[in-house]
Structure 1
Amino acid sequence: MKGRGSAVLIENKTVALIKRIKNGVTYYVFPGGGIELGETPEEATKREALEELGVEIEVKDCIAEIDFDGKQFFFLGDIVGGVFGTGQGEEFSNENKGVYIPEWVNIDDLHSINVKPKEVAEKVQSLYK
């Protein structure tokens, strides 16, 4: 299975997440997606942030690697361009993938919502207490 690159974008004690509603279930994920052939995890993270959030990012430190359907990399990043919430990725036009809503979520609220993977949400909380 191919890997996945995800962005952990933090501003003003909030973190950028994608609210997903699929088959009646609501949960949150970090913006990101599959690493394409010839891409590094960092390049995939930049591409996915642009597709899903509409922002250009500078990728910084990898704060987590999770083994789930391949290796998943989670990178801290800074927004350097674009407009949050203007993503045009295929997930926004494919009804079979459910609903995607980019949101800023208060870091203190991460423990009370269904964030996947939970380990990364806990890591973000521990970094910003």
Structure 2
Amino acid sequence: MTYPIRVRASALIIQNNCVLLVEFNDEKGLHYNLPGGGVEEGETLIEAVKREAREEASVEVNVGNVAFLYEYAPQTVNSKYGTVHSLTTIFECTLKHAEEARLPLIPDENQTGVKWIHLDDLHEIILYPNLCEKIRNYVENKQNIALIEDQYLQDYEK
């Protein structure tokens, strides 16, 4: 028997002490998420985070180091975000160009905006998942996690 787990990738984009967030308004009310989503078949994590930033915030990004790994295990939190177990790799990203982040032409369902939120104001919004303090700590301490991609490892010689 297999146990499915959804693999996701998200972008942590910090600029001028602000974080780029995607705004939603749905049955949970007004809330925010990092730009991100599920990795598609045949796509790497890095390709996925680039695509998601483009699709959700209309920006092209340079993908840096892994800032966080976030596991959502529904059985541990009464399925507050649904029933699908997921693991999200959150990458520190920078904008490739001085472009303005904006709502895409075809936004996700219930997506109402793309906003830069100052780090000092994170406590005033609802961010799912609630990574507000983790983001602030990350910006102050920059402790990264290495992403090891197999295609860059040297094969053993036989």
Looking at structure 2, the residues matched to 19 and 12 of structure 1 have their Cα atoms a distance apart, in angstroms, of 19
Query: 1:41 aligned to 2:45?
Result: yes
Query: 1:19 aligned to 2:31?
Result: no
Which amino acid counterpart does residue 105 of structure 2 have in structure 1?
Answer: Q
Bigger-Rg structure (1/2): 2
The alignment-based identity, stated in percent, is 30
The residue aligned with 2:154 is none
Looking at structure 1, the residues matched to 138 and 86 of structure 2 have their Cα atoms a distance apart, in angstroms, of 25
Kindly provide the CA deviation profile for residues 52-87 of structure 1, in whole angstroms up to 9, marking residues without a partner as x.
111110000111111123111111100003431052
Looking at structure 1, the residues matched to 100 and 106 of structure 2 have their Cα atoms a distance apart, in angstroms, of 14
Matched ranges for 1:1-129 at <5 A: 1-23=5-27, 25-68=29-72, 69-81=85-97, 82-91=99-108, 97-118=109-130, 120-129=131-140
Provide the aligned length of Structure 1 versus Structure 2: 123
Looking at structure 2, the residues matched to 52 and 100 of structure 1 have their Cα atoms a distance apart, in angstroms, of 11
Which amino acid counterpart does residue 92 of structure 2 have in structure 1?
Answer: L
Kindly provide the CA deviation profile for residues 89-115 of structure 1, in whole angstroms up to 9, marking residues without a partner as x.
451xxxxx2233100000011122211
Runs of 4+ in 1 over 4 A off after TM superposition: none
Which amino acid counterpart does residue 71 of structure 1 have in structure 2?
Answer: L
Normalising by the residue count of structure 2, what TM-score does the alignment of the two structures yield? Answer: 0.71
Q: Secondary structure at the match of 1:38?
A: coil
Supply the RMSD in Å over aligned alpha carbons.
Answer: 1.6
Q: Secondary structure at the match of 1:46?
A: helix
Larger relative strand fraction: 1
Could you list the runs of 5+ residues in structure 2 that have no partner in the other structure? Answer: 73-84, 141-158
1:11 positional shift: 0.5
Could you list the runs of 5+ residues in structure 1 that have no partner in the other structure? Answer: 92-96
Looking at structure 2, the residues matched to 9 and 74 of structure 1 have their Cα atoms a distance apart, in angstroms, of 10
Residue 63 to residue 70, structure 1, CA distance change in 2 (3 Å): same
Looking at structure 2, the residues matched to 37 and 88 of structure 1 have their Cα atoms a distance apart, in angstroms, of 24
